[in-house]
């Protein structure tokens, strides 16, 4: 059994593949503050959004990644602890992982930070888990949306899964619109083997993979 570290708190995870070595001690990345406004209207961002599955190998900056994850799950009301995407009962079951060439990082909304979970490049393994969608391995950045359904089920019982799926859609769309605002290309993915994806990402046993968003620069 491998043990992942979330800040200083250990939690159990599914056994990872040989290519997914887990770091138990690593530096937390503090992301630059996400801007609260820009010159692009929401109408323009919606008009630009397209699902594009071809990317250049130009890497994203931490600032850009920070804007993407903030759009998906960032804290927009620090006093009330509310986030950018609506959540049934404000229970926030989603966990967002950032997968890049240098490893896997868990987004921590409260501090707008990334906690390292792996030092391995698992994009190729993710593409195989996604029914051999080879283009995913070429995406400079993958956002993984997983859910701890129990957080929502405690209040909403059998309807929890419906609410979790809706919430994942809200969060993913926010990241897609942010990608459009930044001049990036992106595409959502829901087709993958759940067990293989959970193992590849090293998710907690209580978490289920729900959605992926691939992001990158357009081909040169």
pTM of this prediction? 0.86
Q: What is the pLDDT along the chain (220 residues), one digit of tens a residue?
A: 232 333 222 333 444 443 343 444 468 999 998 776 667 777 777 767 787 888 999 999 999 999 999 999 999 999 999 999 999 999 999 999 999 999 999 999 999 999 999 999 999 999 999 999 999 999 999 999 999 999 999 999 999 999 999 999 999 999 999 999 999 999 999 999 999 999 999 999 999 999 999 999 998 7
Q: Is the separation of the CB atoms in 50 and 218 below 8 Å?
A: no
CB-facing half-sphere around the CA of 121: CA atoms within 13 A: 10
Per-residue pLDDT, 50: 83
Superfamily covering domain 3-216: NADH Oxidase (3.40.109.10)
**Domain-by-domain residue ranges, the chain?**
3-216
Characterise 77 by phi-psi region: left (phi > 0), alpha (psi -120 to 50), beta (else).
beta
Residue 11 confidence (pLDDT): 30
């Amino acid at each position: 059994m491998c043990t992942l570290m979330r800040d200083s708190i250990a939690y159990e995870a599914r056994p990872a593949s040989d290519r997914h070595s887990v770091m138990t001690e690593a530096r937390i990345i503090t992301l630059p503050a996400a801007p609260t406004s820009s010159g692009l209207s929401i109408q323009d961002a919606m008009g630009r959004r397209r699902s594009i599955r071809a990317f250049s190998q130009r890497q994203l900056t931490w600032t850009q990644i920070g804007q993407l994850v903030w759009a998906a799950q960032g804290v927009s009301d620090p006093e009330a602890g509310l986030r950018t995407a609506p959540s049934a009962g404000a229970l926030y079951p989603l966990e967002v992982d950032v997968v890049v060439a240098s490893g896997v990082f868990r987004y921590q909304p409260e501090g707008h930070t990334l906690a390292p979970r792996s030092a391995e490049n698992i994009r190729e393994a993710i593409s195989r888990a996604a029914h051999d969608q080879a283009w995913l391995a070429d995406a400079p950045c993958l956002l993984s949306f997983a859910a701890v359904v129990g957080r929502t089920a405690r209040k909403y019982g059998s309807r929890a899964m419906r609410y979790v799926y809706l919430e994942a859609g809200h969060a993913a769309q926010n990241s897609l619109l942010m990608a459009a605002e930044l001049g990036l290309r992106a595409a959502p993915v829901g087709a993958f083997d759940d067990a293989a994806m959970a193992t590849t990402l090293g998710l907690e046993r209580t978490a289920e993979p729900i959605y992926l968003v691939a992001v990158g620069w357009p081909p040169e």
